[in-house]
Amino acid sequence: MTQWIVFNSIDQKVFLSNVRLWEGSLLCKKNVFNTYKYNNQSYGEDTPIVEQLFTESKLGLLTDLPHMYIYIYHGANTCNITHWNYIFSRGRILDENIAGEIKKVIDPLLDVSDASDLLEDILLAHNILEDVQ
């Protein structure tokens, strides 16, 4: 995916991410993925693989589906706050009312199908999907 919804649960803010190759939403056949060298490091280890897959034209980019994935920053993520402040600064902050609505979507008691429908309804109601690059 090239865009995500990013929820900062510490500050209760929601962002439409910048456009980039988001490693965390990569779907890849295991036999293809295993042909690439996976760096032995604690974070950023998948970035070189995603970049190589892109360079070799082996990625199918999903460019208009940020409503398919919500990344949650909770303060104990692999990357530190400096990294996430950069991510937040590159994205577009969404209306503060959306944060409360997003909290409903990520409620673990909500059925996945219902959560998906709710998220799409929220983004359509706030005209977010019209702005997707």
Residue 120: is its pLDDT beyond 90? no
Break the chain into its structural domains and give their ranges: 5-21+61-131
Which pLDDT value is given to residue 70? 92
Residue 132: is its pLDDT beyond 80? no
The beta strand positions in 61-128, using DSSP E, are 70-73, 92-93
Q: Could you tell me what percent of the chain has a pLDDT over 90? A: 45
Q: Is the four-CA dihedral 92, 97, 98, 102 of positive or negative sign?
A: positive
Half-sphere exposure of 42 (CA within 13 A, CB side): 4
Which pLDDT value is given to residue 42? 64
Report if pTM > 0.85: no
pLDDT in tens, 43-94: 767 788 888 999 999 888 888 877 788 999 999 998 889 999 999 999 999 9
